[in-house]
Copies of this chain bind each other. A is one copy, B any other.
Amino acid sequence: MSNFNLYYQADIAAIFYEKQALKGIGLTAETMAADLLLVTGKKPKIITDLENESGGQVIIAATLGHSQLIDTLAEKGFIQLDEIAGKRECFLMKVVENPFATLPHLKQALLIIGSDKRGTIYGMFRLSELCGVSPLIFWGDAVPEKKAEIIIKLAEPFISREPSVKYRGFFINDEWPAFGKWCGRHYGDVNEKAYRMVFELVLRLYGNYLWPAMWNSSFWEDGPGIGNARLADEYGVIIGTSHHEPLCRAGVEWQQQYHQYGESNTWSFITNRDAITAFWKDGILRSKDFENIVTIGMRGENDSFLMGAEATLKDNIEILKKALTTQNQLLKEHVNKDLKEIPRMFAIYKEVEDYYFGTEDCEGLHTCRELEDVILLLGDDNFGNLRAVPDPLARPRAGGYGIYYHFDYHGGPYSYEWLNATNLAKTWEQMTMAYEYGIRDMWIVNVGDIKGKEYPLSFFMALAYDYEKWGIDNLNSAAEYTTAWIDKQFSDALPVAHKNMIHELLFSYTKWSAVRIPESLNPDVYKNNFHEIESTYQEVCLINHKLEYLRAALSKSFLSAYESIIYFPAAAFFNTMLINLTAGMNHLHAKRGVLAANGFAVQLQELISRDKQYITAFDQFLDGKWEHMMDSAHMGFKNWDDYDWTYPDIRTVSPIPHPKIVVSFRGNDAYNLGHHWQEPPRVTNAEMTHPGVNAIILDIDSRGDVDYAFKISCDKEWLSFSPAYGSTQLNKAPRTTVHAICDRTLLSGSETAFVQIDFRFVNGDQKQAFLNVSAGNDDFSGFSGAYLESQDYISIPAAGYAAKTDISESGFRAVPHLGRTGAAIKSFPVTKNWLNEEMSPFVRYDFIIKKSREYEITFYFSPRNPLIKDGKINCRFRFNEAQPQLLNTIPDNFYAGHSDPEWSLGVTNNIRKVTVASAFKEGLNQLYFYAADPNIILESIVIAPKEKPVPVTHLAPPDSYRIT
């Protein structure tokens, strides 16, 4: 262990690089100096000449093969270069005392030696991090803690890891109106000033790859000129293009430039081949001196099909082959005769998947020689679910595999661009699966406007960089990473209690935004049944309270990061939930015609105002630093267009001039208007048959403006009401809320109380309402771990199994936070398919049925896709002593894309429900759930009588009572 006095007794080390150092080193030195200034208040000198330096400490940054100094130091035995030589993107960090005899004033040098350009830069940014600078210093507004001294302690030499995934980066996409307008506001255009901030982010996150913005920009023309590309290359950021932009050409360039190549603007390799070839040639000539990964292949313009609908599969494959041959030929001719030396990527996206695999009658591109050394880029389904993985039994491809993942998407069934809607546990689960199946050459993620996606992006990059740490062996990776990430943004000076609160806020925000993205929220999503709206509303309010608490509690230095990456997005997001939940209640009560609707109307108006206030406040935050970054549509953003972007309408009720009460149990859609000419269906409540529920709420509402007195009577001693009588002032309080409380000591077994409410209206009318309230106190001791039927359903969380049986340490594991609202179970190892095994691991669920009858059992699965084309996802289960059944959870003709309504439903609601039927006997019953296909993820099981389906909810109904 050695110490380097980077900042000590008011002296700060200088930063040195040799004059012949790669240009990116100098750029990074500037950035690092600015970082250190923020931490220390002193800006380190940047020097390229050690001779004339008078300071005692120096940071030396150098790159193998680009430095004489390194060789000198190695010769002297200060460093062992073979520890990094030949490795990708590694760096060595070591403190050397008195490195140069000729420079006696130089007491210490901190060497940062990269195996290559990015290795050195990673080392330099790592040093910034060690000084307390977050990678999100710019994008997350993480203000570093001011320090009086910085002593770097190294167990030396420190050798960095070789990154787990070869190409790691992100895609700025769907960048209008937010990122685009933001660049315009601050930089005048999407140009090199803007990209400098992007490149730094790539590198600080130990990434190396970027797909630049392309909706309305050409990366190679807007720097201005070639500026963006040159700067990227200097920084060591490898530039790629999206799946439909071949040969380093931006999508928009063809229509802007086609006249240089011919008269036709047709993007057809059949009718306009020469022009397009020339256009491509100019693309690679323009970029060939920079580090690129060349996208090859061809699609239609603007993400569309290549050929018309009348073209056959063979036509498409043939034309694509011709394009590939031409592209490879151009690259050989103008870049490198050895194509292997040119990193190339071919994306399997949408219809290209069909061309790649072909059919029995028509050979696909997978045998095409042109693709041999090319990275095959697979895609998720735009919603973070893998669509295909390499067959683990197939021989490895020379080119390897990549994955194009989404934290942002513009398209159907919903666009999600506004904020962060990514559940980290899901990203962990799907991306570790990708890695395990051998997708290790390229990870690229669509991050929309970048801003708002800092958190999942950081995780994605960390997972790609250090899979050993965050990968498959760490089931709790998402939570642990979040702790580490918060530590990076807020430093040790923030109390742990506050950090824990931030952790909770972040998890809660991304839990709810992933359950249902704000763009897809509407007043009908969450339901009144089982108090779903109410309990969701209460949870959000509690979180909101904490959000505001921290905002008030945090000191100024923490506040900027807090507001930038936690407060504004979370508060604005939760407000969209409150708007829609309140609108749900408003519309529900308006439909009932009760005056209580009007209270919700007032709340709703206030919440809608707040939505605009959040956006305005964020625009003004840090003197407009992020103005426009929240400009995207954030409600009703279906498909490509935000045509449904409106606020929910606000509904008010006018009282009728008549005495009319409406009686209902809170959290239940049933209501009645009292005995009238005929007795209406009696409103019943069985919530207290759940042994954990001892109180319920009865709402007495009014449609009319006639005040009344009421008196509640009941035939059972165990049930009491508070208040049991009273009278109204409807113009002040249109709703009377009555608590009904069960004294279980007076209850024997299951009983139903008959409740009568007598109303006397001030106009002399009288009315009665009749209700039933059931409660249960049955003894189920001896069934520990079993779930109890109540209110005609049983809801079991997947992690609530009574027993679990592994086979050789393989089997189900509960992954925290993987489900919509909690843990989900998945079988490990993830590459193991148990479908054809005689024995397989399983979990067992126990549940108590109250009445022997036919039941329907609904499995709630995470909405994953089959891992092979036209594949299935099978699970296996059995009830009690019955034979195990195989259950395919994927509908016939399923397609993981917008054209499939089942898929659309799955990604909209983040759940896929599959229902089976069985008769159950009264008392204990058991469900055995076996491992089968590897990507089954079970979240919940809901059991209900066939003749009495569970009232509709968005989430699964609340967990049933579990016997202890």
Contacts and interface: CB of A to CB of B under 8 A. Distances in A.
A784 interface: no
A593 interface: yes
A651 B647 CA distance: 12
A653 B643 contact: no
Interface stretch (A65-73, A655-663, A812-820, A894-902): A655-663
Contact of A650 (B609, B642, B644, B651): B651
A608 interface: yes
A608 B654 contact: yes
A605 B657 CA distance: 14
A653 to B, nearest CB: 6
Given A641-B677, A641-B678, A677-B640, A646 B656 contact: yes
Interface in A695-710: 703
Nearest to A589: B649
Contacts of A740: none
Contacts of A631: 658
Contacts of A633: 658
A596 to B, nearest CB: 12
The 9 A-B pairs at the shortest CB distance, nearest first, are namely A593-B646, A590-B649, A649-B651, A608-B654, A647-B654, A650-B652, A640-B677, A612-B657, A641-B676
A626 to B, nearest CB: 16
Between A605, A616, A654, A658, the greatest number of chain B beta carbons within 10 A of the residue's beta carbon is seen for A654
A158 interface: no
A591 interface: yes
B643 A676 contact: yes
Contacts of A616: 657
Interface in A573-615: 590-593, 597, 605, 608-609, 611-612, 615
Contact of A597 (B644, B649, B677): B649
A703 B608 contact: no
A426 B147 CA distance: 94
A765 to B, nearest CB: 8
A418 to B, nearest CB: 12
A8 interface: no
Interface residues of A, number: 40
A252 to B, nearest CB: 14
Nearest to A678: B640
Contact of A645 (B410, B615, B656): B656
A838 B743 CA distance: 83
Interface string A646-688: 1101111110111010000000000001001110100000000
A267 B680 CA distance: 24
Contact of A653 (B612, B646, B703): B646
A652 B642 CA distance: 20
Contacts of A680: 641, 643
Interface in A380-429: 410
A653 B645 contact: no
Interface string A792-836: 000000000000000000000000000000000000000000000
Nearest to A703: B646
Interface in A504-559: none
Interface string A223-260: 00000000000000000000000000000000000000
Nearest to A597: B649
Between A597, A645, A657, the greatest number of chain B beta carbons within 10 A of the residue's beta carbon is seen for A657
Interface string A286-321: 000000000000000000000000000000000000
A612 B706 CA distance: 13
B653 A649 contact: yes
A653 B608 CA distance: 10
B703 A645 contact: yes
A615 B678 contact: no
Given A640-B678, A677-B641, A657 B703 contact: no
A918 B209 CA distance: 65
Contacts of A653: 646-647, 649-650
Contacts of A703: 645-646
25 contacts: A590-B649, A593-B645, A593-B647, A593-B649, A609-B654, A616-B657, A633-B658, A640-B677, A641-B676, A641-B677, A641-B680, A643-B673, A643-B680, A645-B656, A645-B703, A646-B653, A646-B656, A646-B703, A647-B654, A647-B656, A649-B652, A650-B651, A650-B652, A650-B653, A652-B652
